[in-house]
Structure 1
């Protein structure tokens, strides 16, 4: 059966977000934790994770892969992307495209649409211990794109790899004030709340959802995996892809 129920899909479309507990199995969670540690350690060898990397570790953009390993095909072709990522942590990329991708397909597709869903981006968000300055101000992901790049709906899947709360820099979200006019907010936040989640759960966010996160006051690294999907490839005016443009494969059903 599909992972998401009709009620969950409707809630997401009305409020701009959806929290799903225990989306990842323990085995899947361990794969992402291992991949995150490997790539984050690589970035730490090159500089400070906060000041030099902005807490963002993108597998295909953090210089982990040599230039002769990484081509445009790895950013736009399912088979090449899977082969490259399998060379790092076998199983992670397939879960990203299939399990996360299935959820994205359910949320982005409407009843009569058949557009292809693409993996737009994937990143680990790493906040070191006691990094109180590692904060993200209130923002909407869609506004990072130019007007010409906003033609397709996007969904971000904020997936903590450890338990998260206000102490270690979790996310705050502000649901859509008006479901009939999604993504339009007043200057003052209304209805915003702090998200408390267990490792392996997932917060799905519409690209128009307003959200932020605070610093990490704890004694441990706070790691989050966040893939992003789009209903169509996001292209720049020069016809290059804004990030990744990897089409999802056939629909995979999970029980």
Structure 2
């Protein structure tokens, strides 16, 4: 009887308590080291803005009708959000795999979809907190407001969800810390830097501009820029479609890998 009940919870109706518990664990995990997971990214973003405003801002002139620092600020915000969302899920899973306690997460009656939801919820929570803090800093220090707040919120949620999912994919694939570091250093960081964070892609050579438009990170940054300052290199609706499709594909892969236990079960 107990086995039948566990089976129903595992494969039938949603295990709300288990999913909520996993989400709480992931949230408390990054809050317990807030100096590293929240304060450090905010300081890094502030340093980026300070250095660019002092070293380049006065000579750079306007970009797309706004000052260079105004143009730069949303890009820095989204870049920080996606890096932290990725780090939240990837570090949690890869540490559990290396320490050998990933079984504590896989054994409870949680379906693959519930595992994905719980992990991604932590990434979204961290992304939203980082975004709110950096935007408040921008508003107070630079006077950057919010032209389209709904668009901005949608893109922050999409960015956190997409990169939270990518963090799961990377952590499932990686079996060691150096493999995880390689994925971060050679894939995630270059994609986030070379996606219009520091420049308008219309200033690139035609070939590079075309390549950039195949980078989903570009649409996250461009969409948030539209939400914050009202200017963008592409249609926010196109960006929404690309980001939603990419996020759906990434979460689908996460679900499938959890379902079959790929590189997680002995």
More strand by share: 1
Larger Rg: 2
How high is the TM-score relative to the length of structure 2?
0.29
More helix by share: 2
